[in-house]
Structure 1
Amino acid sequence: MSDRLDWDKDGADWPNRATSRFVTAGELRWHVQIMGDGPVLLLLHGAGSSTHSWRDLAPLLARRFTIVAPDLPGHGFTQAPRARDMSTDGMAKAVSSLVAALDMNPAYAAGHSAGAAILCRMRVERAIEPRLLFSLNGALLPFDGFAGRVFSPLAKMMFKNTLIPAPRLFAWLASERSSVERTLRNVGAHLDRRGVEFYARLFRNPGHVGATLGMMAHWDLKSLRRDLPRLDSHLVLVATEDDRAIPVRDAHAAAGLVPGSRKIILRRGGHLLHEERPEEAFDLIVAAIEQDEAGSASPAPSVFPPAPPARHVGGVGKAARGQKKPHPAPPQAGQGGAQGEDQAKAGQEVQQEAPAAGPPVQKKKHRLARHQDQDQIGDAPARK
Structure 2
Amino acid sequence: MDWTRDGKDWPNRNHSRFVRHRPHYWHIQEAGEGPVLLLLHGTGGATHSWRDVFPILARDYHVVALDLPGQGFTRMGARQRCGLDAMSQDISALLDGENLLPDAIVGHSAGAALALRMVRDLKRPPRAIVGINAALENFKGMAGWLFPMMARMMALNPFSASEISRWLGNATGVEYMIAGIGSHVSPEGLALYRRLVADRHHTDATLAMVAQWTLDGLWHDLPRIAVPTLLIVGDTDRAVPPEASVRAAQRLPNADLLRMPGLGHLAHEEAPEEVTARIAAFLAAHL
Does residue 217 (structure 1) correspond to residue 211 (structure 2)? The answer is yes
Call closer, same or farther: CA 1:81–1:138 in 2, change over 3 Å.
farther
Does residue 26 (structure 1) correspond to residue 55 (structure 2)? The answer is no
Deviation of the 1:103 alpha carbon:
0.3
1:48 alignment counterpart = 44
2:264 alignment counterpart = 270
Cα pair 1:111 1:138 within 8 Å, conserved: yes
Does residue 77 (structure 1) correspond to residue 73 (structure 2)? The answer is yes
* TM-score for the superposition, normalised by structure 2: 0.97
Structure whose residues are more often helix by fraction: 2
Q: Choose between structure 1 and 2 for higher RCO, CA contacts under 8 A separated by at least 6 residues.
A: 2
Instruction: State the AA in 1 paired with 2:113.
Output: A
2:199 alignment counterpart = 205
Write out aligned runs for 1:121-132 (5 A).
Answer: 121-132=117-128
Deviation of the 1:232 alpha carbon:
2.0
1:249 alignment counterpart = 243
Query: Using the alignment, how far apart are the partners of 2:173 and 2:74 within structure 1?
Result: 25
Deviation of the 1:128 alpha carbon:
4.4
Cα pair 2:15 2:29 within 8 Å, conserved: yes
Instruction: State the AA in 2 paired with 1:185.
Output: A
Cα pair 1:45 1:115 within 8 Å, conserved: yes
Cα pair 1:89 1:121 within 8 Å, conserved: yes
Sequence identity percentage: 40
* TM-score for the superposition, normalised by structure 1: 0.73
> What SS is found at the alignment partner of 2:3?
coil
Deviation of the 1:130 alpha carbon:
1.0
Query: Using the alignment, how far apart are the partners of 1:70 and 1:260 within structure 2?
Result: 27
Instruction: State the AA in 1 paired with 2:224.
Output: R
* Structure 1, gaps ≥5 residues long: 293-365, 367-384
Q: Deviations over 1:176-212 (max 9, x none)?
A: 1211110111111111110000000000000000000
Does residue 171 (structure 1) correspond to residue 162 (structure 2)? The answer is no
2:6 alignment counterpart = 10
Does residue 156 (structure 1) correspond to residue 157 (structure 2)? The answer is no
Deviation of the 1:160 alpha carbon:
1.6
Deviation of the 1:290 alpha carbon:
2.7
Query: Using the alignment, how far apart are the partners of 1:126 and 1:31 within structure 2?
Result: 20
Query: Using the alignment, how far apart are the partners of 2:49 and 2:93 within structure 1?
Result: 22
Does residue 144 (structure 1) correspond to residue 101 (structure 2)? The answer is no
> What SS is found at the alignment partner of 1:83?
coil
Call closer, same or farther: CA 1:128–1:244 in 2, change over 3 Å.
farther
2:230 alignment counterpart = 236
Query: Using the alignment, how far apart are the partners of 2:285 and 2:24 within structure 1?
Result: 37
2:115 alignment counterpart = 119
Larger radius of gyration: 1
Instruction: State the AA in 2 paired with 1:109.
Output: I
Cα pair 1:37 1:64 within 8 Å, conserved: yes
Query: Using the alignment, how far apart are the partners of 1:157 and 1:73 within structure 2?
Result: 20
> What SS is found at the alignment partner of 2:207?
helix
Instruction: State the AA in 2 paired with 1:66.
Output: H
Cα pair 2:92 2:122 within 8 Å, conserved: no
Cα pair 1:96 1:128 within 8 Å, conserved: no
Query: Using the alignment, how far apart are the partners of 1:121 and 1:201 within structure 2?
Result: 30
Does residue 289 (structure 1) correspond to residue 276 (structure 2)? The answer is no
> What SS is found at the alignment partner of 1:63?
coil
Runs of 4+ in 1 over 6 A off after TM superposition: none
Cα pair 2:24 2:78 within 8 Å, conserved: no
Cα-Cα RMSD? 1.2
> What SS is found at the alignment partner of 2:45?
coil
Deviation of the 1:156 alpha carbon:
1.2
1:188 alignment counterpart = 182
Deviation of the 1:146 alpha carbon:
3.3
Instruction: State the AA in 1 paired with 2:216.
Output: K
* Structure 2, gaps ≥5 residues long: none
Cα pair 2:41 2:47 within 8 Å, conserved: yes
Cα pair 1:109 1:133 within 8 Å, conserved: yes
Deviation of the 1:126 alpha carbon:
4.1
1:311 alignment counterpart = none
Cα pair 2:151 2:210 within 8 Å, conserved: yes
